Every structure is written in structure tokens, then in C-alpha cells.
Amino acid sequence: MIIEHRILKERGSIFLQKVKELKANGMKTEPAFAKLLGLKGNPYTELLKFEL
């Protein structure tokens, strides 16, 4: 969640709204972030790479 919070602060309210829209359509949080960020592979693993 810390990584997601940092990404939201960097990307802003439009990014947050897009995440909310994907979640409203049934997508889980991490896959929604990964889709919007263009990440490939396991969304959980790929988001952890943002911590580095």
C-alpha cells in the first residue's frame, strides 16, 4: 500500500479516478495499477519493483 500511495501522489487525481473506474468494473487494486502503468507479468511483483 505504501507503493500505491506514492504512485497516487506522483500521478495525481486523474490516475486515481482511473483506478477507481477499473475497480468499479471488478478489477482488483494491484492489477488496476499494473494495467494503468503498462506493467507486464504478475502485478503484485511488478509493483514491488517501484519500491527500489
Query: Would you state the pLDDT for residue 52?
Result: 61
**Among candidates 34, 46, 47, which has minimal Cα distance to 1?**
47
> What are the residue ranges spanned by the domains of the chain?
2-51
Whether residue 45 contacts residue 1, with contact meaning beta carbons closer than 8 Å, is answered with no
Q: What is the mean pLDDT of residues 46-52?
A: 84
Give 51's pLDDT tier (boundaries 50, 70, 90): confident
C-alpha cell, 50: 517501484
DSSP type of residue 25: T
| pLDDT one-digit tens code per residue, 1-47 | 889 999 999 999 999 999 999 999 999 999 999 999 999 999 999 99
Query: Residue 50 pLDDT more than 70?
Result: yes
Helices (H), 12-52: 13-24, 29-37, 43-48
